[in-house]
Structure 1
Amino acid sequence: MPRKIMSAEIDLVPEVSSLSEIYVSSDQSGRYRTLFDEFDHYYGKAPEFVSRSPGRVNLIGEHIDYCYFSVLPMAIEQDIVVLVCTNDSGTINLINSNAKFGPESFVMSAADDDNNIGNVVSIDRSLTTWTNYFKCGLLVAHQYLAIVIKRRHVAPVGMDVLVDGTVPAAAGLSSSAAFICAAALATLRANGVTTVSKEELAKMAIVSERHLGVYSGGMDQSASVFGKRDHALYVQFQPKLKCTPFKFPKTDRPLTFLIANSLVKANKHETAPVNYNLRVVEVSIAAEILAHKYSVAIPQDSGIGMGTLWGFMEAYYKEYEGAGARRGQAWDGEVVEGMRRLHTMTGLARTVFVQTDGYTAAEAAEELGMTVDELHERFLSKTPVRFEKLQLHGRAVHVYEEALRVLQYLRLLLEPGVDSDSDKLFHDLGQLMNQSHESLRGLFNCSCPELDEICAIARRTGSYGSRLTGAGFGGCSVHLVASDKVQEVKDALIENYYRVKFPGIADDALEEALVVSKPGIGSLVYTGGVP
């Protein structure tokens, strides 16, 4: 297997007419019949189509996508579906199948002047409401229609919508990204766009949550859109977005990934100033300090208009490293070269950020050769964050080491070795997952006691590797377990975690909390009608 990962051919978001093309592990026909009946009950007509996007589980590569480093997720079968019928009133009517989420209706504006292209709806980010996620998808889709397809003076088409989801909210499985991808795809379809590439859909969805004040990377949306049955994804963001599907190696015992939900809600939007967004700011400031120390210019191309740790790595190698044909060249994805560069970056980060307990604003400003006011103006005024000290050492070291673990993990999956038995392969993969969790806990500070406990129980019972997945601060964990050990690990978690933390928890809640994950298909449009 070549160690340079080649891009998969960019293809179109599919349209399917049979549920068997979507779901393998379960029969979803009853769910769809119920949803079609509900749609008719609410709107007095049948939906014209269903847009659908899945959640995802990330195997390894956490909190590095917004630094533009590659990740290894896979789509799961749990999904968000959006049933749609168009209307001629320019009104969006939103109903959720879950009654705890109230309905909402709003009229879109034309919004086609030069300063307001495609902005058909305003989003109040101060409100925590499920409909804001639909509005994000709606907004980026109309911006795409106005700017890319040049449909600036066409009235936006109204939609009657019913939403249903099986991805647990705030669990680290990207329910918000799945919803936004499904909403954007539904909006395009309703407005006459029947063919859109996966790359285009992913790119518009990647920037969508910024309208809610969250500056996420592109892993969640890419995994949801590009998901392929029985395949994991190697997602690269630089020099361009590339999603390469690959199958797991054949071994005498199949690789099995068990997802365990801690049932601790992890709402990255509500806690962004002290959790998610703060991490985004910290890694960007770390990149700027490294660039200042080594006198290199880095592009201001992050989601918050600052530099990235990827950008510093590339600038450093252009200025200081490389020989012969490689000197001054960007990293082209070759795995061994990438591992070499990331080893170097880790060493630089440890050398520069010697204050392992953090940096005050004044100390960070001094590292950058500027005043505190200049630091706030340039780096801290763009997105609201709160902190006592900026944890620059832990954040930078985690990002570079985690990016290195991704390449090591990928290399093991694609080159397990002729002589490797499943035990050795699983052990090596598991060690990387365990190291990832410890880094997220100790350096990135985004775990929680419940996730740590779940991982410890699973490892004691037979998991080769256990780690949080998603943004952390609660949510889900993922565990590499041999197929013949899955039930034993599940039973141990039920007895030692769920029954202890949540006495009286129902059996159906346990089934939802513990799921054996199988790679599923990505975003699509279903046109098969009532099954």
Structure 2
Amino acid sequence: MTESLSAASISAAFESAFGHAPDGVWSAPGRVNLIGEHTDYNEGFVLPFAIDRAAGVAVRLRTDSTARLLSSYGNQGVVTVDLDTLSHDTMTGWTAYPLGVVWVLRQMGVKIGGFDLYLHSTVPTGAGLSSSAAIECAVASAFNELSGAALSANELVLVGQRAENEVVGAPTGILDQSASLLATDGHAVFLDCRTQESTLVPLDLAASGLLILVVDTKVSHAHATGGYAARRASCELGAEVLGVAALRDVAAADLAEAAGLLDAETYRRVRHIVTEDQRVLDTVAVLGSEGPAAIGELLTASHASMRDDFEISCPELDLAVDTALANGALGARMTGGGFGGSAIALIPAAAETAVRDAVMAAFAGSGFSAPDIFAVSPAPGARRIA
């Protein structure tokens, strides 16, 4: 989806639905987390980049307190909500993402009245590519401008996180919103989740003859339920027993002592976080000194840690990683919260067809549903596009 096409088609769909042109169109990208999984809520380090798949929203302000929302997916039609009675009960389904952002902004004192909103997204849902944060960041960018709130990008990150935590009910950190709002073309975002300080790290894959292939396993996951919250609780328990504010404060040298203080499962969870933080730091260093072709082993080690210590992989993700590595990938790992979603493979551009074909054949041979496989490149962050 090119930027010009998205803006024109979103504007046209908005006008068709609501009978007038929007005040503007804003987009925000999904993301691939290059490395640093589940470290964000442990106040550690992450290294995501924005991808060239995005959510777009067209918005027009109204003079009353009515919000009318429509999306391009599903057949739900226009959802109408009175903002004066906005509550957790009235923010349901897909509307929880845009309305959650509006609710948080209004809680902060930003004056937002009624509006019409149309949403279209090319970020696959349930694929671990942060489709929800893309929506939140596009909506936050739109209302930040339309309301004159003039919030900084870092403040908008926290708006999106609050919407995700308090309205959607997913206990996520700031990784996804930071990637969507802070990214620039051709760079990854090195983020310190404790201080919210970020640095752009060059990730020029094309210049190195490389690309990142995403394998969406089609195994859907939901952060608001199940395993994600259980892993977070394990991390909090580990930090409490070890007497630190967050697992960010545990060094690799401390792990031997931690093994004697924690039960076996909690120790494995802690070990993943501690070693993953170090892998993020190592990846940033290697990108700076040697370039992207040299980070493959770190990516693969990250997957092994998530598979064995954090136990958030699944047979489809493991098959995607193993098959990519056996067919020329320099490194591969699952990405996102786990329990499904996507794997990524860092591959020579010339090997794309071979890796694609091998993964498709492996899934068919294992009786798994066919995955969706596509290349991504580091893209710009949230912005107004019309």
TM-score (norm 2): 0.93
Q: Distance in 1 between matches of 2:113 and 2:207?
A: 54
**Judging changes above 3 Å, is the alpha-carbon distance between structure 1 residues 56 and 250 closer, same or farther for their aligned structure 2 residues?**
closer
For the 8 Å contact 2:125–2:131, the answer to whether it is kept is yes
For the 8 Å contact 2:28–2:134, the answer to whether it is kept is yes
Aligned to 1:202: 157
Of 381, 390, 398, which residue of structure 1 is paired with 2:272?
398
Letter paired with 2:93: T
Q: Deviations over 1:256-285 (max 9, x none)?
A: 21111001111112xx2x311111111001
For the 8 Å contact 1:258–1:514, the answer to whether it is kept is yes
For the 8 Å contact 1:141–1:185, the answer to whether it is kept is no
Of 340, 358, 361, which residue of structure 2 is paired with 1:492?
358
Letter paired with 2:236: S
Aligned to 2:101: 137
Aligned to 2:135: 179
Letter paired with 2:137: C
Aligned to 2:221: 266
For the 8 Å contact 1:235–1:243, the answer to whether it is kept is yes
Aligned to 1:345: 254
| 3-state SS of paired residue (2:88) | coil
Q: Deviations over 1:102-161 (max 9, x none)?
A: 43111112xxxxxxxxxx721139x861111112111122233x1xxxx5xx5x321101
Runs of 4+, deviation exceeding 6 Å: 249-252
Aligned to 1:526: 385
Q: Deviations over 1:142-196 (max 9, x none)?
A: 233x1xxxx5xx5x32110100000000110000111111222223333233x43
| 3-state SS of paired residue (1:71) | strand
Q: Distance in 1 between matches of 2:169 and 2:345?
A: 31
Letter paired with 1:173: L
Q: Distance in 2 between matches of 1:476 and 1:451?
A: 7
**Number of corresponding residues:** 385
Q: Distance in 1 between matches of 2:98 and 2:207?
A: 44
Shift, 1:491, TM fit: 1.6
For the 8 Å contact 1:455–1:467, the answer to whether it is kept is yes
Q: Distance in 1 between matches of 2:339 and 2:306?
A: 10
For the 8 Å contact 1:199–1:241, the answer to whether it is kept is yes
Letter paired with 2:274: Y
Shift, 1:226, TM fit: 0.5
Letter paired with 1:410: V
For the 8 Å contact 1:123–1:135, the answer to whether it is kept is no
For the 8 Å contact 2:297–2:331, the answer to whether it is kept is yes
For the 8 Å contact 2:186–2:204, the answer to whether it is kept is no
For the 8 Å contact 1:159–1:190, the answer to whether it is kept is no
TM-score (norm 1): 0.68
Shift, 1:477, TM fit: 0.7
For the 8 Å contact 1:470–1:476, the answer to whether it is kept is yes
Structure 1 residue runs without a partner (length 5+): 1-25, 110-119, 292-297, 299-306, 314-341, 357-390, 417-421
Larger radius of gyration: 1
Q: Distance in 2 between matches of 1:495 and 1:191?
A: 51
Q: Distance in 2 between matches of 1:498 and 1:89?
A: 54
Aligned to 1:378: none
| 3-state SS of paired residue (1:58) | strand
1:308 and 2:239 aligned: no
Q: Deviations over 1:222-244 (max 9, x none)?
A: 00100100111111122x21121
